[in-house]
Chains A and B, each alone.
Chain A
Amino acid sequence: MIFPQKLAVVLHLRWYKTMQREKLVEVKDLKIHAKNDDGDIIPIVKGVSFDIHKGEVVALIGESGSGKTTISLAALSYTKPGLFFAGGELLIDGEDMLQAEPLRTREIRGAKVAYLAQSAAATFNPAITIGEQVTESAVLHGILSQSEANKRATELYHALELPDPDRIGFRYPHQVSGGQLQRLMAAMALCGKPDLMVLDEPTTALDVTTQIEVLKAFKKVIQDENSAAIYVTHDLAVVAQIADYIIVLYGGEVMEQGTAAEIINNPSHVYTQRLMAAVRPKPQAGLGSSVADEHEREIPAVKATDITAGYGGIIDGEPKIPILRDINVSVKNGHVVGVIGESGCGKSTLARVMAGLLPQSRGTIELDNEELEGDLRNRNLEQLQKIQFVFQMADTALNPKQVIGDIIGRPLEFYHGLKGNARHAKVVEILEMVELPAEFASRYPMELSGGQKQRINMARSLAANPEVMLCDEVTSALDSIVGANVIKLLTTLRDKTGVSFVFISHDLSTVASFADEIVVLYAGRVVEQGPTDDVLTPPYHPYTRLLISSVPELRIGWLEDTMQKREMAVGIAKDVEITSVGCPFFNRCPMGIEGTCEKQTPPVHKTDTDHQIACHRSIEELNMVEFEVQEALEHKKADEAIV
């Protein structure tokens, strides 16, 4: 609960502190323009002004194309190729970054202003140890000697709560997890004690459980170091946790700016309100769409039974690198089945097995009660047509050398033999279905926006007139508003055509808003599945509980509240272990039973609504709210001690 009076005091204190702080960065009427091949000048940033005080985190928020990254890079006296500073000032300690000489920029970058890129995996050099890379810029700039830098790095590893902080510096980047690497990047930026950090979407590509671990570490280290930061993101819920001051950008202009509390609690600009509306609601029961009954049939459209699959060849019926184990999933006709889990849990692999792109090593796939061959090359045309795969990245899933008309027209020709005018008429019809104009037929994918490309990507699958569409993370690469529109479209399509969907996502809120049923995958196994409402209400599988509480809420203080929870203390910042025996979630489970969970495959609890949970704990135990669980566990421990 938030008490208004208390909040007001806190806010006042924050504001007061801000006033007291020294001004570090002053941006005055910053203008950045681009010049295209024809010499036309296009304004990208149209006069932006704001200040950053010492120890303050300023968030730049907006959709792609809003100029947020461009502004943040200006703090490093850098523009992307083709852009140039057209006016204004960006003062750091009174020195104008826009006027800095090339030699001076070398001194500034890394020492005075440090930059954290979105992808840590791409930032680290795989051939050099982490410690060397973390200390490099501090030593290079002569701020610290190598031994001082090493000491400082170790302190930072401790502050960032990295495992084995005294020795992690000797490891290579591939030897740590993605979330750890992201935190190590923060250590790299902070090692030279910069005045200002620029963080460019540092958590966007991460799973919710990893995001929370990184956010927590960033927040702590920024507070400890009292460093100022520019935090660039499109995610308001994340910003609410970490920023002191928020600047909302659209099209290179400031729409609204104010303290985090002002913006989050009382957004005055319509654009901010729109952004807030697009923030995915907390996943909960009742969000899922109701089933379109008219399409429902007894026979499941696609049924996967006891599927085991993996990569690297098959030895004795087991794949060398197993990804999926004993998966049972069935997709009823006209239903949407959401598949959720962290990256690497086997979501995409499941879809690939269904599509026949990766033949399973054990188990069967049935389509309308008819067993399918594992390899799609052995399936017949009708079977191929009925299952369509929608790829994640529309950018790469559409052939850049084909016009849209040919991309959508090919399945029409291939499966249904349509040619010439008949084909064109159908292409126009399908373009209409995905809410795009008919002129698009003569365009190349390059000429379309991200959201439009994703629509074409889906239109191509729709053109086959499928029974089941396998959608692999179709909204993950899109901005929140665009992604929400795509989901809306999918819902319309489902209602209109009666197509069943397998909807894969790592984002629980998106799945909750669209799916009739949810399958929760963890380390290649189904831990829980059932109707959306049942999965999102207790009893939960402990992993589902962790996932649900990791989804950030648009509320200041959410991060601190959540970190108090027991499942977080146990489940966050741990590696996923793929095990062949026992429950794979054991090492992150707040209620694991030692001696049982890691040794025996968990039994599956079934309820009358097809809700299934694979856990050693009883339904009653899973049903309890968190503190009760804790109590029960303590009782049990006490009992055991007596025995």
Chain B
Amino acid sequence: MDNNSEFAETSKPQDKDILAEIDAVDELPTAPPKRRIKLSWVGKVSVAIVVFWLVICLIGPTIAPFHEMDIDGDDGFMGYHTNEYGTFYLGTDYLGRDTLSRIIYGARNTIGISLASTLLAYLMGITLGILAAVKGGWIDMGISRVNDAILSLPTIMLGLIAIAWLGSSIPVLVGTASIIYASSVFRIARALGQDIMVQDFVEAAKARGEGSWWVIRSEVLPNAAMPLATDFGLRLVFVVLFISSLSFLGLGVQPPAADWGSMVRENLQGLPYGSYAAIWPALAIAMFTIPINLIVDDLSAKAGGSLASKMV
């Protein structure tokens, strides 16, 4: 007994500290620092490259040494040379036009069209996808089956048919690409939406009597935003490649307007003669799409497990 009481006495001061600590736990925990998205150096370089291309899109025509349609070179498929009109840093294409200028002009078409198509695809895909997820039942069934039908057709074939039917113009290209890509955005948005719809906080909103619009705007969209943004980067790349492959087939941006995909096709014949005219636009495509992918990777890695697990 004596031993016990002694022990109790000696251990008392320390015990009090611990009890105070336990009580403190129930109080305000220190707030974690505001989450800022920090990019790795790879991410920073990638952002710089993408910004560079966007600037080129904006001010391209003013800085390009030649006009995209001027045939000023000494000959087709020439390397670096200078003549009375100026210097051809990346040489000339099959008609003797300056490759560098055509890449700078082409940035507008390639990036502009793909950005517009992706945005439009997102608008359609998210609206319909979230609507299908929230409403369910026949609406979901109807939209999903139409979407399945679109998905079942090869994208290039679908593009070919649309262009053969409506002719090749920039609005048709944008429209076709956006409808084709809206179908995959729809599937992601619907899956994400369905995931969020079964969460308790959505059920709580429903139990409160909230309408569909409020549920979509305040409960579903904010939680779907980050995964969708990550997907946006990837989708943009796909659209760039799609537009480029259509142009490669001769169905995209029509000559003489410059576009990276069609530039590759036009100048392919130069490869056997040692011309780099087809390589430069291909590199440009890579230089735009790879950094976007790297940014997406970086962002999803930084956003941590929850996003990464949603993407899988």
Contacts and interface: CB of A to CB of B under 8 A. Distances in A.
Interface of B is mostly: helix
B146 interface: no
A451 interface: yes
Contacts of B19: 270-271, 274
B207 A400 contact: no
A389 B209 contact: no
Interface size band for A? 35 or more
Contacts of B62: none
B200 A391 contact: yes
B84 interface: no
B148 interface: no
A355 B207 contact: yes
A391 B208 CA distance: 12
A55 B222 CA distance: 54
A158 interface: no
Interface in A371-405: 376-377, 379, 381, 384, 388-389, 391-393, 396-402
A379 B26 contact: no
Contact of B204 (A439, A446, A451, A460): A460
A391 B204 CA distance: 8
Interface string A262-275: 00001011110010
Max chain A Cβ within 10 angstroms of own Cβ: one of B22, B32, B210: B22
Contact of B223 (A379, A401, A449): A401
A411 B208 contact: yes
A537 interface: no
A574 to B, nearest CB: 32
A251 interface: yes
Chain B interface residue bracket vs A? 20 to 34
B274 interface: no
A410 B208 CA distance: 10
Contacts of B31: 443, 447
Interface in A82-136: none
A398 B201 contact: yes
B200 A393 contact: yes
B209 A376 contact: yes
A268 B219 contact: no
A392 B199 CA distance: 12
Contacts of A443: 31
Interface string A326-357: 00000000000000000000000000000111
A313 interface: no
A379 B209 contact: yes
A443 B199 CA distance: 21
Nearest to A414: B208
Interface in B214-234: 218-219, 222-223
Contact of A396 (B16, B25, B200, B209): B200
Interface stretch (B3-11, B130-138, B237-245): B3-11
Given A414-B208, A464-B208, A439 B201 contact: no
Nearest to A457: B204
Interface in B180-213: 199-201, 203-204, 206-210
B21 interface: yes
B15 interface: yes
A568 to B, nearest CB: 36
Counting chain B CB atoms within 10 Å of each CB, the highest count among A376, A389, A399, A485 belongs to A399
Contact of B25 (A388, A391, A449): A449
Contacts of A425: none
Contact of B18 (A250, A482, A485): A250
Interface in A466-488: 481-482, 485
Given A397-B200, A400-B223, A401-B223, A271 B22 contact: yes
B207 A271 contact: no
B63 interface: no
A175 to B, nearest CB: 26
A268 B4 contact: yes
Interface of A: 250-251, 255, 266, 268-271, 274, 355-357, 376-377, 379, 381, 384, 388-389, 391-393, 396-402, 410-411, 414-415, 437, 439-440, 443, 446-449, 451, 460, 464, 481-482, 485
6 contacts: A268-B7, A274-B22, A397-B204, A437-B28, A448-B29, A481-B22
Given A443-B31, A460-B204, A464-B208, 15 more contacts: A255-B18, A268-B7, A268-B8, A270-B16, A271-B19, A274-B19, A357-B203, A376-B207, A379-B209, A391-B203, A392-B200, A396-B199, A396-B200, A440-B28, A447-B32
Ranked 7 nearest A-B pairs via Cβ: A401-B222, A397-B200, A384-B209, A396-B200, A270-B15, A399-B201, A391-B200
